Chains A and B, each alone.
Chain A
Amino acid sequence: SAVISQKPSRDICQRGTSLTIQCQVDSQVTMMFWYRQQPGQSLTLIATANQGSEATYESGFVIDKFPISRPNLTFSTLTVSNMSPEDSSIYLCSVDIGDSPPEAFFGQGTRLTVV
């Protein structure tokens, strides 16, 4: 398994502002994933972040709204830009650990409330 730490664990933000969420892993991983979990809902993949290349976004998510950085093999950030109340969700960082096949592990999540 892996220890995945996210910061902040929660925040309340004003609409129109931006929040950057950090994800730190205790081992080097090739791919890191960012998910959104809207209130009472399941997890939806936002994007896949690889070191040294631009993140790959899923349908319905764009780089201008959710810019992602991946400066090294143990760290990534997700920014939620120009926030509105509809962005209130839990944002989760995930990594795949192991081979043949890998298993997905999650951080504890960042609970974002936009007012």
Chain B
Amino acid sequence: GQQLNQSPQSMFIQEGEDVSMNCTSSSIFNTWLWYKQEPGEGPVLLIALYKAGELTSNGRLTAQFGITRKDSFLNISASIPSDVGIYFCAGQLSGTYKYIFGTGTRLKVLA
């Protein structure tokens, strides 16, 4: 199936560092969602973005809906060990109800 390009694929960072990941596509999206998935669990919604240019925060997380509607990024500030997991973006294509998922960013935080 179709997937979004998400980068980086994986990251190893020190506790306290900031993290940035992004998703890009050649298609236009109406909505961007960011999820975190931990082992043995389903994805948990972190942030939802609805308008081009929108910048939204949820605690230490900040995400933006790209102005072209073809990309989005997620920043995590001052990372902590419990930030470990796989982060997925998901975009809802214009004119559909379906979400397409990014390839995932695997984050590991070294204490």
Contact = CB atoms under 8 A, between A and B. Distances in A.
Interface string A3-46: 01010000000000000000000000001010000000111110
Nearest to B30: A101
Interface stretch (A63-71, A80-88, A106-114): A106-114
Contacts of B104: 41-42
A96 B45 CA distance: 12
Contacts of B56: none
Interface string B86-101: 0010101000011111
Query: How would you classify the secondary structure of chain B's contact residues: helix, strand, loop or mixed?
Result: strand
Interface string A39-60: 0011111001000000000111
Interface residues of B, number: 25
A96 B98 CA distance: 10
Q: Is the interface of A mostly helix, strand, loop or mixed?
A: strand
Contacts of B48: 103
A60 B98 CA distance: 16
Contact of B101 (A43, A48, A59, A103): A43
26 contacts: A6-B42, A31-B97, A41-B103, A42-B88, A42-B103, A43-B43, A43-B90, A45-B1, A48-B97, A60-B1, A92-B43, A96-B97, A101-B30, A101-B31, A102-B97, A103-B48, A104-B33, A104-B90, A104-B99, A105-B45, A106-B43, A108-B40, A108-B41, A108-B42, A109-B40, A109-B42
